[in-house]
Structure 1
């Protein structure tokens, strides 16, 4: 099995963007596109591996680097610095990842230099939770580029996102009329006003133990139903937030297996 992978730089709206692309080398192009939207950790090894998995399923799979500025990562947001934060969080139980008190207590046990770097990178990475409009613009730029790109011109585009990417995948469904479908893995949900502008089918996956996201799920389900939007979803028993990430302690193999099969079935229905 031979994949053709590369990082592509492209200009859109006066800005330079960076995006990982993957496809089967012998596949006839142009191909329908799966837009893989990163977790809070960026286009790390897990996201690149996942992008390759979609490419092996017969799609042009792309993962925009939302943290790149003019095609390059800032110093505090390099892959190496983010990996340090991920390694630190893996020493904590999943519920403590978003518990500031527990996190700070664990940070105090780190050597001073490491503690300062972890603080800086953690702050910069998680500041992106408040920058969704700017990150959304980068995704929309990618869709515009893909519409004219020789490997995908004239083909449909759908998105799948994880964590912060799940929220962005939903925002794409609400704001990007060229999107054929949206998959959300445990991302923050939309308001009733945002739901009103969704123009494509949505598929969602959630972990039973992800209480922060799930607190809003019943209202979202009801609002989607009232608005007449196409929405199917699964809530997996015993699964945490980030259950699909096989590099982290929250990984849940049963939930991931089922979600992967349903995601591919969804994409084959709406893209091919």
Structure 2
């Protein structure tokens, strides 16, 4: 299906203009809408590509740049540099504030600013991003080419966790989580009203530690969900620009995502 694309802006939770990428079928019909939430790298060409692929299947997609407020610090280059430092820390220690603080001593000023925002101030950033995503939902829902309230959301890594969180706040009809963390508090899973699919990498210890309690909560609250764990795949297996890309897992996940949205966004 042929699509049109455009760089656009929407009003964030406080009225500030936030950047976004919009893609939609060229026909004049109304289509379901899907929010595509980026990884820790921000809105880049890889995420734009995902938004375009989903749009080509008959959806209106919007991929917000959740780092617009911090665009002079949270550039892809700065994030890449800072994350190399973080990856030198054992996975079990990456959420330990004292370990992070010690690692920051040897960082450049820009690297420290990135780590402060993404790790030291993560809860505050998370709250802001959730509010901005709800504003993005309103923007998408009001777009003239979208079937009102027929919305889905998907996200990757950081964006996967945000997608999971959003599903507990607003009644998205379909949510696809790629290797994302559980919503907080976990009991908010009780609020999910739409369909849920979670796709995980087999070799992703930090994220996968949360799968059993998520499943327990989903079963407890009688939610409709699907889970797939790709044996041997690593975190970020869907991102073709990263060393962890796994073609077999990515192709299967893509087919699952397409089928899931086409079944539930009607």
* Change in 2 beyond 3 A, CA 1:97/1:125: same
8 Å contact from structure 1 (residues 174, 198) kept in 2: yes
Query: Which residue in 2 is equivalent to 1:270?
Result: 264
In the alignment, is residue 248 of structure 1 matched against residue 245 of structure 2? no
More strand as a share of residues:
2
Query: Which residue in 1 is equivalent to 2:75?
Result: 78
Q: Deviations over 1:138-180 (max 9, x none)?
A: 1111111222211215251100011111111111110012x11
Offset of residue 68 of structure 1: 1.2
Choose the corresponding residue for 2:201, options 204, 207, 210.
207
In the alignment, is residue 66 of structure 1 matched against residue 59 of structure 2? no
In 2: Cα distance, 1:94 partner to 1:271 partner? 40
Corresponding residue SS for 1:154: strand
Query: Which residue in 1 is equivalent to 2:36?
Result: 36
Corresponding residue SS for 2:191: coil
* TM-score normalised by length of structure 1: 0.84
Offset of residue 127 of structure 1: 4.8
* TM-score normalised by length of structure 2: 0.85
8 Å contact from structure 2 (residues 19, 65) kept in 1: yes
Q: Which runs of 5+ in 2 are unaligned?
A: none
Query: Which residue in 2 is equivalent to 1:57?
Result: 57
Query: Which residue in 1 is equivalent to 2:219?
Result: 225
Corresponding residue SS for 1:32: strand
8 Å contact from structure 1 (residues 185, 204) kept in 2: yes
Offset of residue 254 of structure 1: 1.3
* Cα RMSD, aligned residues only: 3.0
Provide the aligned length of Structure 1 versus Structure 2. Answer: 261
Offset of residue 13 of structure 1: 5.3
Q: Which runs of 5+ in 1 are unaligned?
A: 109-113
8 Å contact from structure 1 (residues 47, 63) kept in 2: yes
